[in-house]
Amino acid sequence: MEYVAALTPPFVMAVAFTALIVTIVKSQGGANKAKEDAAVDAAFARAESARQKKDG
């Protein structure tokens, strides 16, 4: 019966890791992708603009 106690933590961690991966994969793309991409593009544009003003 000790083997059940020995295998339970790795099994629980494997299930949790699988759930994490599934959540990450499902959150990629979808309805929020365009909004996230726009936010990143805006941040890059602000950084580039600030760099050009500083260099200019």
Instruction: Write the Ramachandran bin of 28: left for phi over 0, alpha for psi from -120 to 50, otherwise beta.
Output: beta
Q: Is a pLDDT exceeding 80 seen at residue 14?
A: yes
Domain holding 22, by residue range, is: 2-55
CA angle 5/16/9 to nearest 5° reads 15
Domain count, the chain: 1
Question: What is the DSSP track for 6-46?
Answer: HHHHHHHHHHHHHHHHHHHHHHSSSTTHHHHHHHHHHHHHH
More confident residue, 38 or 16: 16
Query: What's the pLDDT score for residue 52?
Result: 85
